[in-house]
Structure 1
Amino acid sequence: MITQTMNKTITFTQQVEFGDCDPARIVWFPNFFRWIDAASRHFFVQCGVPPWHETEKTLGVIGTPLVDTHARFVKTASYGDVLQIHTHIAEWRAKSFVMRYRIMRGDDLIMECDEVRIFAAHREGDNASQPGIRAVAIPSEIRSLCE
């Protein structure tokens, strides 16, 4: 089941530092992915989701690893810029969700990105001896906090 949504949008602010840039003074592209990963966790915290070490004890959920990403870079950013990363969940699926990011500098769109993430738990049963994770159904407690 897929549910399209336009739920809460949470904004994460990021100041671009000199060390975030390449010799051409533009943000080195992997930094955008580092910042949107931070914005993802910030989204859940602002929605009231407990830290992952707590959800592991109560729900078995150890986090929301990334399984797919699509990005579009529109404009460059440089040191001194203050970026706003607007984050929301665009789509809920049975065991995954699409998190959407729009990175803005004021009214200028810098980058947009969609990530598919899962709610993960440690392997159990016959696979427990093998390290790794498995996707689990999206906990209703977490989904209701994010809507």
Structure 2
Amino acid sequence: MSKTTTYELRVMFGDCDPAGIVFFPNFSKWMDASSLDFFMQCGVPPWRELKESHGIIGTPLLEIHTKFMRPATYGDTLQVRTCVESWAAKTFVQKHQVFKGEELLCEGRETRAFCVHPEGGRLQAIAVPDFIRERCS
């Protein structure tokens, strides 16, 4: 199992629909932000540095599953708890749990891959670098 990190955010009025509840795509936006924040908190260099040193441009999203349990509204402070649930050769699954205090509001899983973009070529998934897996465990 990997480390678990926490990304905190405050829900703004513009994050909500006319009924005053968070518009569902915003949870995906926050999970995406928490994905990058997870690697930063684990000591992985920013993507721009990894592009220079290893050619890695980031971790594009391949698949997402989200389950909503409770709503959130503006003024709420939320915590997104993120970990890597499983590692495969070229992909990994991140689990995100969105909490308001101790109440679980939403849970999502994202399948991602570390990718390079060779000059003149298409994006390519690469083997998960050992140094990244080690920093995240």
TM-score strictly above 0.5: yes
- Which residue of the partner structure matches residue 86 of structure 2? 91
When Rg is computed on C-alpha atoms for both structures, the one with the higher figure is 1
| Matched residues, number | 137
Q: Is 1:64 the counterpart of 2:54 in the alignment?
A: no
Instruction: Compute the displacement of 1:60 (Å).
Output: 1.5
Aligned with residue 120 of structure 2, among 129, 134, 145: 129
Q: Is 1:18 the counterpart of 2:13 in the alignment?
A: yes
- Which residue of the partner structure matches residue 102 of structure 1? 97
TM-score norm. by structure 2 comes to: 0.97
The answer on whether the counterparts of 1:59 and 1:139 sit within 8 Å (CA) in structure 2 is no
**Distance in 2 between the 1:40 and 1:114 partners?**
11
Q: Is 1:111 the counterpart of 2:96 in the alignment?
A: no
| Secondary structure at 1:129 match in 2 | coil
Partner deviation per Cα, 1:90-126 (whole Å, 9 max, x = no partner): 0000000000000000111110000000000013xxx
5+ residue gaps, structure 1, are 1-5
- Which residue of the partner structure matches residue 130 of structure 2? 140
Instruction: Compute the displacement of 1:129 (Å).
Output: 3.0
TM-score norm. by structure 1 comes to: 0.90
**Distance in 2 between the 1:129 and 1:107 partners?**
48
Q: Is 1:28 the counterpart of 2:23 in the alignment?
A: yes
Partner deviation per Cα, 1:24-81 (whole Å, 9 max, x = no partner): 0000011111111110111010000001111112111110010000000010000011
